[in-house]
């Protein structure tokens, strides 16, 4: 319905509604609509007031439909008021009529608040751990009436309204109630169902109407390019993952085989038309693939809602909403449940370091620097043109910590890989002298971010003992993966960026030059056990002109494949958990692009299929052999056998675990075939060759040791085995006893 032309205010008794209030409502500047609209007691009378654009006549009724009074029209734009026959304050409804017909509206202003004093207390304290159930839009029944409760934090706003396709995006209709102690605005809207688009219309402190804002706690969003939030019900998923969650909650993840497949959900595969796969389609394809390949976890690049595809999700505008690109939130829950039923964990790439400045997002949310710092030296990130969260504000910390808890609780996620931790820890990150503000002690450490990370990890591990939190931290900040009570940041694991950088640099060199850079491959063992490390070959290494992993390798095509196979064997035998970005398991030639599917047709070629088989077998060997994973994070699980043969570019070490047969890992990083190469071993006897990256099935030359070598004890007490070293290859030998 459209309102008739505004013909001015009709003179009415002052006890119905003052002219100033009428003008304020119509001009969208009434700061406290609950004080005037709805049902009010005036002495022994009860007055009902409403704003119903398009109505010519209005009758007040009980919720059961009993007429309790006709209201007078105070303004032709749709303002009505009148005395009604009730004995107490209660929810009521209105029957509105005009020339086109009649309709019924339940009065949202006749309902009391939903949030309570305990919510206010914990929100003010910054310790509310159920904000995701309180803020945002949630279906509920209030006084027996179904609808949605909306709540949003905007402490400096003069007015906040819910607008959507249910009220013609008119900010005058559903202005919200302010809870002054917390700065949270709330309203219950009867009759609203799931599937409606909505935003918040906010009037700033100076009276300016801001661009419409998406809900920071929205659990569902529109599909881009639209960017409104969507009303949605609770996750409707029958979880069948008790055994999976119990396993991880009762084991030490540091001693489990963890091999992570990093995936960009929009480009792993696409359907025949080139569109994104839905979560259900991804489940049908990706889960069986990861089971066959032997990965223990899938790690998704950010999937919380984001506006711009080429950002890969790292500039999110909806931390609580799985992106609409792949379907509804329930679809993502089904995907996670499907993974858990076959023993695969799901890790979310999480971005609490910064957020984009899109008009509908968090930037200047209520007209002030609310989620970010006011000072650009603290609140603006020069690398990404984004805003930095104000980690010193309790409400911002609660927003982020609740988000970490939300994904674990509502979607049963197994882990969070926290992006850009280094940018959070250092106040001078990517800044020149004079472009940053020192901390209270004059240093460059962001003490507020440290406290945030410690609190987040403590809260998450307390609520979900089986979760993994993994820091992408590229500096030497101490104790990233140490417990908070021991002075650490509290992460479960840290990405080993040094391993990735040094080893890829080494493999890019021609083999003849590698002897001069031997330390690139040995230096990492000096710090390998200072943190609980994940060895990442991530998306960051195959974008922005860096080329794919196979393209980085030195030599002709044969050598490139052999180098990469040897490198994977080296990495899977090296201490630390494993991560491999999609497409690298079959040696995709092209640099990754988010705009298209991986080049799956390459699997028709033996060298690419051989690489895939190798990664599958490496995962299988890593999972089956406790010596390769049970002491990934402890020095007593590693022992050098050959560390200094730089002339031959050979490396050998022992992986071991209590009660397990040791495994020797030997790598030859030159194309020279060597026979009778002496490798020291701890025990004499037969050592089985359990993996050889040069095997013909992987596309290699087929050189090897016929399945086993013999370790013999010499007169001087040394034990060695004379083995054949295939060119550019890694061998794994297990004591056969």
Residues catalogued as catalytic: 419, 472
- Angle in degrees, 0-180, between the axes of helices 606-624 and 279-293, rounded to the nearest 10: 70
* 602 contact partners, CB below 8 Å, separation of at least 6: 586, 587, 588, 589, 608
Q: DSSP character for 209?
A: B
What is the number of other CB atoms lying within 10 angstroms of the CB of residue 7? 9
Query: How does 664-688 read in b/e, with b if 16+ C-beta sit within 10 Å?
Result: bbbbbbbbeeeeebebebeeeeebb
- Please name every residue paired with 675 in a beta bridge, in sequence order, or none if there are none: none
d(CA 6, CA 16): 20
How far from chain centre, in Å, is Cα 349? Answer: 4
SS (H, E, C) 396-432: HHHHHHHHHHHHHHHHCCCEEEECCHHHHHECCCCCC
Helix (H) or strand (E) holding 97, with range, is strand 92-98
Strand 38-42 and strand 45-51: pairing? antiparallel
Strand 304-305 and strand 318-322: pairing? antiparallel
Q: Does residue 656 contact residue 627 with C-beta atoms inside 8 Å?
A: yes
* 3-state secondary structure (DSSP) of residue 101: strand
DSSP string of 148-185, one letter each residue? EEEEEE-TT-SEEEEEETTTTT-TTTSBPEEETTTTEE
Q: Does residue 673 contact residue 725 with C-beta atoms inside 8 Å?
A: yes
Count the alpha carbons within 13 Å of 383 in the hemisphere toward its beta carbon: 14
* Closest C-alpha among 594, 553, 558 to residue 570: 553
* 302 contact partners, CB below 8 Å, separation of at least 6: 312, 313, 314, 316, 348, 349, 350, 351, 419
3-state helix, strand, coil in the chain (%, to 5): 30, 25, 45
What is the number of other CB atoms lying within 10 angstroms of the CB of residue 474? 17
Tokens describing residue 679: 């490798």
d(CA 137, CA 220): 10
* Closest C-alpha among 514, 564, 509, 565 to residue 542: 564
* 32 contact partners, CB below 8 Å, separation of at least 6: 177, 178
Backbone φ and ψ for 635, nearest 5 degrees, come out as -65, -25
Q: How far is CA 296 from CA 47, 249, 580, 681, in A?
A: 64, 15, 12, 31
Q: Does residue 221 contact residue 323 with C-beta atoms inside 8 Å?
A: yes
Helix (H) or strand (E) holding 548, with range, is none
């Amino acid at each position: 319905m459209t309102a008739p032309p505004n013909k001015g205010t009709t003179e009415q008794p002052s006890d119905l509604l003052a002219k100033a209030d009428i003008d304020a409502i119509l001009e969208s500047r009434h700061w406290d609509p609950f004080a005037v609209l709805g049902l009010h007691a005036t002495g022994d009378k009860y007055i009902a007031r409403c704003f119903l654009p398009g109505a010519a006549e209005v009758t007040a009724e009980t919720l059961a439909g009993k007429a309790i009074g006709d209201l007078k029209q105070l303004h032709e734009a749709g303002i009505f008021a009148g005395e009604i026959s009730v004995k107490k304050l209660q929810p009521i409804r209105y029957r509105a009529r005009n020339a086109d017909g009649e309709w019924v509206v339940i009065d949202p202003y006749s309902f009391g608040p939903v949030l309570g004093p305990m919510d206010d207390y914990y929100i003010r304290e910054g310790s509310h751990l159920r904000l995701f159930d309180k803020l945002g839009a949630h279906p509920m029944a209030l006084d027996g009436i179904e609808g949605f409760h909306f709540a949003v934090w905007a402490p400096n706003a003069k007015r906040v309204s819910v607008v959507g396709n249910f009220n013609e995006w008119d900010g005058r209709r559903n202005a919200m109630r302010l809870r002054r102690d917390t700065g949270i605005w709330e309203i219950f809207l009867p009759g609203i169902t799931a599937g409606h688009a909505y935003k918040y219309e906010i009037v700033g402190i100076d009276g300016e109407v801001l661009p419409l804002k998406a809900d920071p706690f929205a659990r569902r969003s529109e599909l881009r390019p639209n960017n409104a939030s969507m009303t949605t019900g609770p996750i409707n998923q029958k979880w069948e993952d008790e055994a999976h969650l119990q396993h991880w909650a009762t084991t030490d993840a540091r001693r489990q085989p963890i091999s992570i497949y990093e995936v960009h959900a929009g480009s792993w595969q696409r359907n025949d038309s080139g569109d994104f796969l839905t979560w259900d389609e991804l489940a049908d394809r990706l889960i069986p693939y990861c089971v066959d390949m032997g990965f223990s976890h899938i790690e998704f690049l950010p999937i919380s809602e984001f506006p711009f595809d080429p950002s890969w999700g790292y500039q999110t505008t909806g931390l609580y909403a799985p992106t609409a690109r792949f379907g509804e939130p329930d679809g993502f829950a089904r995907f996670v449940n499907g993974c858990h039923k076959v023993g695969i964990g799901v890790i979310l790439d999480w971005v609490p370091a910064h957020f984009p400045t899109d008009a509908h997002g968090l930037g200047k949310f209520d007209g002030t620097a609310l989620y970010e710092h006011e000072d650009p030296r603290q609140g603006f990130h020069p690398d990404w043109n984004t805003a930095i969260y104000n980690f010193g504000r309790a409400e911002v910390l609660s927003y982020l910590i609740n988000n970490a808890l939300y994904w674990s609780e509502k979607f049963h996620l197994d882990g969070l890989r926290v992006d850009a931790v280094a940018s959070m820890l250092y106040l001078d990150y990517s800044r020149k002298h004079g472009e940053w503000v020192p901390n209270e002690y004059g240093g460059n450490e962001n003490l507020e971010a440290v406290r945030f990370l410690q609190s987040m990890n403590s809260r998450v591990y307390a609520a979900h003992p089986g979760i993994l939190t993994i820091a992408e931290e590229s500096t030497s900040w101490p104790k990233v993966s140490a417990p908070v009570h021991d002075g650490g940041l509290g992460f479960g694991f840290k990405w080993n960026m040094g391993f990735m950088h040094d080893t890829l640099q080494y493999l890019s060199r021609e083999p003849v030059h590698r002897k001069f850079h031997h330390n690139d491959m040995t230096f990492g063992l000096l710090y390998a056990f200072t943190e609980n490390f994940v060895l990442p070959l991530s998306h960051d290494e195959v974008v922005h002109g860096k080329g794919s992993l196979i393209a980085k390798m030195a030599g002709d095509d044969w050598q490139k494949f052999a180098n990469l196979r040897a490198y994977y064997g080296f990495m899977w035998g090296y201490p630390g958990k494993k991560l491999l970005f999609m497409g690298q398991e079959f040696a995709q030639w092209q640099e990754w692009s988010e705009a298209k599917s991986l080049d799956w047709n390459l699997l028709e070629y033996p060298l690419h299929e051989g690489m895939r088989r190798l990664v599958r077998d490496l995962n299988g060997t890593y999972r089956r052999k406790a010596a390769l994973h049970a002491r990934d994070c402890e020095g007593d699980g590693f022992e050098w056998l050959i560390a200094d043969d730089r002339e031959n570019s050979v490396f050998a070490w022992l992986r071991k675990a209590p009660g397990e047969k040791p495994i020797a890992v030997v790598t030859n990083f030159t194309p020279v075939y060597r026979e009778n190469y002496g490798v020291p071993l701890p025990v004499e006897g037969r050592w089985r060759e359990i993996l050889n990256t040069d095997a013909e099935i992987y596309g290699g030359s087929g050189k090897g040791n016929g399945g086993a070598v013999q370790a013999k004890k010499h007169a001087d007490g040394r034990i060695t085995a004379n083995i054949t070293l295939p060119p550019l290859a890694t061998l794994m030998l297990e004591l056969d006893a």
